[in-house]
């Protein structure tokens, strides 16, 4: 069993500290944002089944509703990244999800397409703002031995949120024609619990030290890790938020992270927003299609857990390349043989779910390990925002593509996106396994 840090008599770096209960609690409530992201993006797919005939939505309107939260996340990630680098992690981390509580409840009374679209955009803004804040805070407190699995666990929380949405949404929409209102409003519950759990979270000592507030940083380090713990500050080039980021020497890393992140989320968002419809288009009836979506969600969750176990053994680069290669192959087969027997279709979807986990967990690991504290929030926010542009476009295009070209070409398009992710990863993915933040952020 690891010795408590207060009992250690030799000096040690925070990057080499043992795992503490504090880290586990931080990882749990930092995961509240990704949980809500997965919940909000998935529950709309269930709610839309009831909303569409009641409101007479066309394919374009369905796409806009599905993409609305993603559009908000694009805006919120940019804003949250800049704010957290300038004003710190703690304040935004403690209060940003209150907006999710309020706007989720407001969805219960909405009776107009554009009002629903607006509320979901605002929910997305709040969730998007939380991404760079929560991920940066977790990164800056966690020792290097546990950093990959802990940051990757945020993605597991995304899939747990998605699975919960299918469970809750399936139950409440079965209660009546207005069940979709309860499904959408239910996001307020995990949001409120997360806000309460985050109360009392300390500021990042790395951010404080970077702002010259060394005494405050040392006090927090001593309180959490003990009197013999010290910080090793990253030596990468500080660049400030967004604008200077493009000229900071980190442009290549921004391009890599944004491209692979986009390539991994576009097919996934399409599957989650329109999973039952895609499976129905492949020949499964409504009930089997809905069950298939739930099974795929569970497999995705299992896949991410397996990826967390492998992230320090295989390394980041190997895990990412294999994830794109094998998940892309299954999408290609689905596109080439859309008329295959039902067991084959379900098997291919299950295979996609199992292999995509590696790319999913690395979406937050790579950007947090590749950029220094001074610009970490801005870099994560920018990468998240740009990836969501592709995600929003992809989600919007799925129902249109299904209507105009059918399931085969739609899945081939998803496979092509995975191939792009594979090529970029093979060319540019670095290996950060076992490195301190000072080492992994150095250029």
Give a yes or no: residue 21 inside a domain.
Answer: yes
Give the domain extent around 246. Answer: 12-201+234-431
**Burial zone of 4 (CB within 10 Å; 0-12 exposed, 13-18 middle, 19+ buried):** exposed
DSSP string, 129-150: HHHHHHHHHHHHHS-HHHHHHH
**What are 100's two structure tokens?**
């999710």
Largest separation between any pair of C-alpha atoms in the chain: 69
* CATH number for 384: 1.20.1250.20
pLDDT at residue 362 is higher than 90: yes
Contact 232, 15 (CB under 8 A): yes
Give a yes or no: residue 442 inside a domain.
Answer: no
DSSP at 234: -
Choose the weakest-confidence range: 1-5, 42-46, 69-73, 144-148: 1-5
Question: How many distinct structural domains can be found in the chain?
Answer: 1
pLDDT at residue 3 is higher than 50: no
Cα–Cα distance between 442 and 87 in angstroms, integer?
24
> 353 or 54: whose pLDDT is higher?
54
> 283 or 429: whose pLDDT is higher?
429
Give a yes or no: residue 421 inside a domain.
Answer: yes
**What are 157's two structure tokens?**
């929380």
Give a yes or no: residue 208 inside a domain.
Answer: no
pLDDT at residue 274 is higher than 60: no
> 338 or 55: whose pLDDT is higher?
55
The percent of residues in the chain predicted with pLDDT above 70, rounded, is 87
Cα–Cα distance between 171 and 175 in angstroms, integer?
7
pTM of the predicted structure, to 2 decimals: 0.84
Give a yes or no: residue 297 inside a domain.
Answer: yes
Question: What confidence tens digit (pLDDT) does each residue in 13-40 have?
Answer: 888 889 999 999 999 999 999 999 989 9
**What are 183's two structure tokens?**
């499904």
Give a yes or no: residue 67 inside a domain.
Answer: yes
Give a yes or no: residue 2 inside a domain.
Answer: no
Of 132, 137, 129, 153, the C-alpha closest to 28 is 153
Give a yes or no: residue 443 inside a domain.
Answer: no
pLDDT at residue 386 is higher than 50: yes
Q: What average pLDDT does this structure show over 215-230? A: 90
């Amino acid at each position: 069993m690891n010795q408590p840090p207060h009992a250690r008599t030799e000096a040690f770096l925070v990057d080499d500290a043992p795992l503490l209960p504090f880290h586990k609690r931080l990882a749990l409530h930092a995961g509240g944002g990704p949980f809500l992201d997965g919940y909000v993006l998935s529950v709309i797919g269930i709610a839309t089944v009831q909303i569409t005939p009641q409101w007479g939505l066309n394919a374009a309107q369905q796409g806009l509703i599905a993409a609305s939260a993603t559009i908000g996340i694009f805006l919120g990630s940019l804003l949250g990244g800049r704010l957290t680098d300038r004003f710190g992690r703690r304040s935004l981390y403690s209060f940003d999800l209150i907006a999710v509580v309020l706007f989720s409840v407001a969805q219960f009374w909405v009776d107009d397409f554009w009002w629903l679209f607006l509320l979901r955009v605002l929910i997305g803004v709040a969730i998007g703002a939380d991404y760079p804040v929560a991920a940066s805070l977790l990164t800056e407190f966690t020792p290097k031995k546990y950093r990959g699995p802990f940051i990757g666990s945020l993605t597991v929380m995304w899939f747990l949120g998605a699975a919960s949405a299918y469970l809750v949404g399936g139950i409440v929409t079965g209660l009546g024609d207005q069940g979709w209102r309860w499904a959408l409003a239910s996001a307020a519950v995990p949001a409120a619990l997360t806000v309460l759990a985050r109360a009392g979270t300390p500021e990042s000592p790395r951010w404080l030290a970077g702002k010259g507030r060394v005494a405050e940083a040392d006090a927090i380090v001593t309180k959490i890790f003990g009197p013999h713990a010290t910080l090793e500050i990253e030596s990468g080039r500080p660049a400030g938020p967004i604008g200077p980021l493009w000229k900071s020497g980190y442009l290549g890393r921004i391009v890599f992270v944004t491209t692979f992140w986009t390539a991994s989320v576009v097919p996934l968002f399409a599957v989650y927003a329109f999973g039952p419809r895609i499976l129905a288009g492949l020949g499964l009836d409504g009930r089997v299609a809905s069950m298939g979506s739930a099974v795929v969600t569970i497999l995705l969750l299992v896949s991410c857990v397996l990826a967390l176990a492998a992230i320090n053994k295989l390394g980041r680069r190997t895990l990412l390349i294999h994830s794109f290669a094998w998940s892309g192959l299954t999408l290609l087969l689905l596109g080439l043989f859309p008329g295959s027997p039902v067991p084959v279709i379900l098997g291919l979807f299950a295979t996609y779910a199992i292999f995509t986990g590696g790319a999913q967990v690395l979406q937050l690991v790579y950007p947090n390990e590749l950029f220094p504290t001074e610009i970490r929030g801005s870099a994560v926010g920018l990468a998240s925002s740009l990836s969501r542009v592709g995600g929003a476009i992809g989600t919007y295009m799925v129902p249109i593509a299904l209507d105009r070209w059918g399931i085969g070409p739609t899945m081939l398009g998803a496979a092509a996106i995975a191939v792009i992710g594979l090529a970029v990863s093979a060319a540019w993915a670095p290996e950060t396994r076992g490195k301190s933040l000072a080492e992994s952020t150095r250029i």
